[in-house]
Structures are given as structure tokens and as C-alpha cells.
Structure 1
Amino acid sequence: MTATAVTEAEAPHNKFDTILVLDFGSQTSHLILRRLRGLNVYAEMLPCTTKLADLPFKPKGIILSGGEVFVRDDGFQQTAE
């Protein structure tokens, strides 16, 4: 395997527009990801604590996949800044 092949395999977001799914603990996050991929959309799922500034790519869109806690509750989880 050449170095070029390894590089391309490691970074498909360089070739395709990427939709990012931020997982807040939802039981259906994997279903969202599967549906996107079924529509021939490249998608990656990362934890909600991921800092967007630290990503090596700029996603074309972001989906927030919610968790069990209601947003107005005191203990709800927030994204990293």
C-alpha cells in the first residue's frame, strides 16, 4: 500500500462534503448516521464535547443528536466552545 493510498483512506472528508453528527447521548444517533450514509452522504459522528476549531476539516453541515435530558433542565450537556 502506498503512502498516497493511506492518506486518502484516512481523510475522506478531503474528497467529500462532510456532515457532522454531534452525539449528545441519543439512542438514535447511529440511525441518523446510517440514514445519511444510505443517501450517499459522507457523515461522521463525534461526541458533543468535540471542539469544532480542533477538527482537521470544515463540515458542510452539523446535526445535533439529542440526549435524554430536556434542554431546559439544569443538568443538560452543552457543546464545547
Structure 2
Amino acid sequence: MNKITITLNEYDLIALLYAAAQQSCGYGSHAIEKTLPEFDCCAYNEPIYELVKQIRPLDLEDTDYMVYVEEVKAVAQKDFEEREGE
């Protein structure tokens, strides 16, 4: 698989992360499946988890963003681990 590198400012990164996380099963929303049926919300959580694992919260200037990234990571990790255990 090819890697893609993008550069975003903090605000745009968090906005995209927020939008994606709200659609994942980890957050209990299945709206993504209504709009884009090819995406299963449960499978959608894995890319979010892979993304937040790459973000170093201490590199973010806004402390609210740091906290949010950690929260998303915790929810995504819990959901991912539960699915791995099934």
C-alpha cells in the first residue's frame, strides 16, 4: 500500500479527526453507513486508531486538542481491542 503524506494545521487536523471519529462505531454513530454504504462503521474505527497512534499530543499547541486526541485514542483502542478479542 502506498503511503500518503499530508500537512495540516492543528485546527484542520482536529476537525477532520472529529468528523471521522463521530462516524465510527467506537462513538456509537452509524451515520457514515447511511451516506457511504461501502464503509462499515466498525471497520472505519481502525483507520482512526491508526491515525491517532501517529499523532503526538505533546506536539499540539492547544491543550484541548491534546486532550481530545488522547480521548479519541482511548475510545478507538478500546473498540479495536474488543473486536480483536472476538
TM-score (norm 2): 0.25
TM-score (norm 1): 0.25
Bigger relative contact order, structure 1 or 2 (CA pairs below 8 A, ≥6 apart): 1
Structure with the higher helix share, 1 or 2: 2
Which one has the largest radius of gyration? Answer: 1
Q: Which has the larger share of strand?
A: 1
